[in-house]
Amino acid sequence: MCMFDLPVRTPDEKRDAADFRLGLLDQGFLMSQFSVYLKYCPNRAAADAVVKRIERILPEGGRVDILLVTDKQYGEVKSYRRRAKQPQKSGPEQFVLL
């Protein structure tokens, strides 16, 4: 999970924030909220590689926090939309190349 609060007062700051968001999307992140992005990683090594790629695109200003959550912890997330509880999320299906 990548969470951030970036300044957007000047045109340069707006561009940097937009570039950062697009960089996350290019890496396969999905937007949960405007400044909260999620990406499933099957193991710690993959998560560490993602963190290194995020570090390379960090903007100059603002705050970026990266939170690593295990499958079990993510399985305990409770989601609601308009007071209606949403079904439990599961990790993505594993891909098999033949």
**Per-residue pLDDT, 98:** 47
The C-alpha atoms of residue 16 and residue 38 are separated, in whole angstroms, by: 20
Half-sphere exposure of 84 toward its Cβ, with a 13 Å CA cutoff? 4
Q: Average pLDDT, stretch 1-10? A: 95
Q: Is residue 41 part of a domain?
A: yes
| Domain span at 68 | 2-85
Higher pLDDT, 75 or 48: 48
Q: Is residue 98 part of a domain?
A: no
Taking only the tens place, the pLDDT of each residue in 6-61 is: 999 999 999 999 999 999 999 999 999 999 999 999 899 999 999 999 999 999 88
Total domain count for the chain?
1
- Which is it for the CA torsion 31, 32, 36, 38, positive or negative? negative
In this structure, what DSSP letter does residue 42 have? S
Q: Is residue 97 part of a domain?
A: no
